Structure 1
């Protein structure tokens, strides 16, 4: 029991430190975390309104793009933030009371809270400004966002070790990861793609996450091919693999040999 309390105190202290380090030194601080995605959604809305009279779903361009962009960022920002955990906390890991798992949990909680606040604010702004009246399944959105966050946690935890051991892998991962924003269904509906492209794109778990989130935002949307079980299994496999890599590399991390 005392050990659990110790880890909770360390994790809470690390969360406060991460907040101060990440947002305290920037102009606008935490507000920038909200302004950045708002600007992205606004920019995408303006661009695509030039080429299309109606969004692929519903009547609101901002809501359509937000329903794709927000769940994607739960994965993208989480995986990126988690991958830098050991580098950001290298000095603290020299203390026996601080474990790598404390650093991982603190970063996960902070990023999850940040993305949740950003999502709530953006959706509330869209509902008010675009006069959206459709009912939304909040539980479904939370489930999809949670799955995206766990997937980001798993991929990010794997990359903590892989980036340190294989510098070339970091470059390769960046090249592979970059086009995901374009091919994960942020801008389009996977159902609109002809076969075999529709079947191929469903191997991407982010496509299912965005379909899952959109099906909660739009009651009329019937996501053809959505497999929530596949997303959960993929995310858990990545997380377990990340924990296994981290556990086997714990000594090297402690001794700063990674």
Structure 2
């Protein structure tokens, strides 16, 4: 984890400052842009809070999926030491980037609640549950991507293409409840949409989405993670050698 911290946040001036500044800049631009188009956000009366409760959770998922996907290649020199196992290197990335994103979310959302008149009454259980869904899903998908990219390097380009529409389809800019039935029947299978809805339920007391299924999200993520672990355990040496 120390190696990961120094290489990820120690190379650029400012270090951890950019981990906070980047999402803040994106959230402010989203809030300003959409406030020029619509009168009010889909929930509440504050544009910044609405988009922050969508973008920050999604950023946690996307970061984990990306860093875990590159985990074996990044840690190849470290894995030359016999006492360091491949799973330890991947878990180190999981812990560090999860804690970093939790801290960023706490700072940014806390600042919004302090500085803006949001009149929000927090319910921490749905917020923590939503973030737990995102951590598990991001880790599971990152592990599977790690295996696929090790066997097929072109998978990195394919995932980049797939990830762009996923950003638009994960409920950052809209509510699932406001979509047409045809769109709901397709997007319901996106686990990120469930997790972001669960996080928003903890911020908005009047929001009670019926579509959220933690059983589906956790079941899908655990099944994918178990399958990815089996594949990586069998093929990680070949991936490192290649």
Gaps of 5+ in 2: none
2:224 to 228, 234, 238: 238
Deviation at 1:168, TM superposition (A): 2.5
Answer yes or no: is the 8 Å Cα contact 1:18–1:107 preserved in 2.
yes
Whole-angstrom distance in 2 between the partners of 1:78 and 1:189: 24
For 1:64-92, what per-residue CA distance to the aligned partner results, in whole angstroms no more than 9, with x for missing partners? 11111111111101100111111111111
- Alpha-carbon shift at residue 225 of structure 1 (Å): 1.2
1:60 Cα offset (Å): 0.7
The residue number in structure 2 matching 1:208 is: 194
**Would you identify which runs of 4 or more consecutive aligned residues in structure 1 move more than 3 Å?**
none
Displacement after TM superposition at 1:133 (Å): 2.6
Tell me which residue corresponds to 1:172.
158
| Contact kept in structure 2, 1:154 and 1:241, CA below 8 Å | no
State the secondary structure of the residue aligned to 1:178.
helix
Q: Which residue among 27, 31, 40 is the counterpart of 2:26?
A: 40
**Partner residue in 2 for 1:70:** 56
Q: Confirm or deny: 8 A CA contact 1:157 1:242 kept in the other structure.
A: yes
For normalisation by structure 2, the TM-score amounts to 0.97
Residue 169 of structure 1, CA deviation = 2.3
Partner of 1:257: 241
* Residue aligned with 1:179, SS: helix
Of the candidates 65, 69, 73, which is equivalent to residue 79 of structure 1? 65
Q: Cα distance, 1:210 vs. partner?
A: 0.9
**Would you say 1:218 and 2:204 are equivalent positions?**
yes
Measured after TM superposition, the shift of residue 101 of structure 1 is: 0.7
Cα displacement (A) at 1:55: 0.7
- Which residue of structure 2 lines up, in the alignment, with residue 5 of structure 1? none
Structure-to-structure mapping, 1:99-248, within 5 angstroms = 99-248=85-234
**Aligned-partner Cα distance in 1 for 2:219–2:192:** 13
Q: How many equivalent pairs are there?
A: 242
1:23 aligns with 2:18: no
- How many Å separate the matches in 2 of 1:158 and 1:198? 26
- TM-score of the superposed pair, with normalisation by structure 1: 0.91
Residue 55 (structure 1) aligns with = 41
Q: For the Cα contact (< 8 Å) 1:86–1:160, is it kept in 2?
A: yes
Give the match's secondary structure for 2:241: coil
Q: Could you tell me how far 1:40 is from its partner in structure 2?
A: 0.8
Equivalent residue number for residue 89 of structure 1: 75
- CA RMSD between the two structures: 1.1
Counterpart CA distance in 2 for 1:162 and 1:98 is 22
State how far apart, in whole Å, the 1-side matches of 2:62 and 2:227 are: 18
1:75/1:152 contact within 8 Å kept? yes
